[in-house]
A and B are shown apart, each in its own frame.
Chain A
């Protein structure tokens, strides 16, 4: 069980897919203009990643090595289509909120990356924990970037609308004088650079500390 928990937590911090492994950069930069988009995309990726990891781990001894990537793509695309059809039919409000991000999950390289790097070599249980950890790590990373970009760039933080509440929190100062570049592509790249630099510094600092303790 301890090993399973390790598989779960590594995706959140030590091997965070966005800040450490640097996977799924296209959706990360595209969807983080609002917090609500980041949460929606993260939830969709978590769901598809969990089921694709489970099925690929189950089929790892059946799938021939030479056609493993096409097989993974078929499995992943099928789960995304299932999610899309079920949401469209029975949860239309979530379907509308996620919009174009639902089909885009097919090309999210975190899902194919985890299938190739983890699920096809490990047990079903470990693969499921890996998927949950990576999905949560991706959602948290997206949410952090979105909060910063939306607060500075639009002066708001947008959640899902609940009942009469429109889900929008206004950020003082930036609501009147937003730094618009933060909501554009250039702002996304700029912020991503700073955050990556911070996480690199943090990783190196921890490694140095560990070496000092060893010595």
Chain B
């Protein structure tokens, strides 16, 4: 009887916690969804270089490329925005990057990650992706190793090499994907 009472008290505390969290989830879910959609929209707009963003197409069978949005200017295809996925130090990295029709990186943003704050998380900072802009051609490839960077850029990614490698692998795959279209 004592064990039943103990189990019932524990179950009651768990049930109250579950009800409170479920109720709060119902209240906060619309606001969270709105915020996440807004975040993706503003990320798409910030990498679009002023071009018009077309409808999303899902990409199957590619290890890095998840989806693409065509970019058009004056009715002509000016490039693509790709949703890229890679692996960093803390798990999955979500990157939104735009490429011109030749596969050169126009812009990129790290939109989701679980990297270490102060170390890998620095990849979210404004300016981190600047070093990749214009890369992606045979003569100017995406810098997949620190030796391909300037001293200042190499120092900036020092201590967070796994994050850097994850991002460059995704951008390189994105560039190759656009060139194959």
Contact = CB atoms under 8 A, between A and B. Distances in A.
B77 interface: no
Given A62-B9, A64-B6, A71-B13, A183 B159 contact: yes
A74 B117 contact: no
Interface string A150-180: 1000000000000000000000000000001
Interface string B28-63: 110110010000000000000000000000000000
A215 interface: no
A33 B119 contact: yes
A86 B6 contact: no
Contacts of A88: 28, 32, 35
Contacts of B90: 100
B32 A89 contact: yes
B148 interface: no
B117 A34 contact: yes
Given A74-B13, A75-B17, A85-B24, A92 B35 contact: yes
Q: Is the interface of B mostly helix, strand, loop or mixed?
A: helix
Interface string A17-30: 00000000000001
B145 interface: no
Contacts of B114: 99-100
A85 B29 CA distance: 8
B5 A64 contact: yes
Interface in B103-136: 114, 116-119, 121
A78 B31 CA distance: 20
Given A89-B31, A180-B159, A183-B119, A82 B10 contact: no
A30 B90 CA distance: 13
A138 interface: no
Contacts of B5: 64
Contacts of A66: 6
A99 to B, nearest CB: 6
A183 B118 CA distance: 8
Contact of B9 (A34, A67, A85): A67
The main secondary structure of chain A at its interface with chain B is helix
A129 interface: no
Interface in A46-68: 59, 62-64, 66-67
Contacts of B25: 85
Contact of B158 (A64, A92, A101, A180): A180
A194 interface: no
A99 B117 contact: yes
B149 interface: no
A103 to B, nearest CB: 10
A108 to B, nearest CB: 15
Contacts of B21: 78, 81-82, 85
A88 B25 CA distance: 11
A69 to B, nearest CB: 11
8 contacts: A34-B118, A66-B6, A67-B6, A78-B20, A85-B32, A89-B29, A99-B114, A150-B118
Given A71-B13, A99-B121, A183-B159, 16 more contacts: A31-B117, A31-B118, A33-B118, A34-B117, A34-B118, A37-B118, A71-B9, A74-B10, A75-B13, A85-B32, A88-B32, A89-B31, A90-B31, A99-B114, A183-B118, A184-B159
The 4 A-B residue pairs whose C-beta atoms are closest, nearest first, are: A33-B118, A89-B28, A89-B31, A78-B17
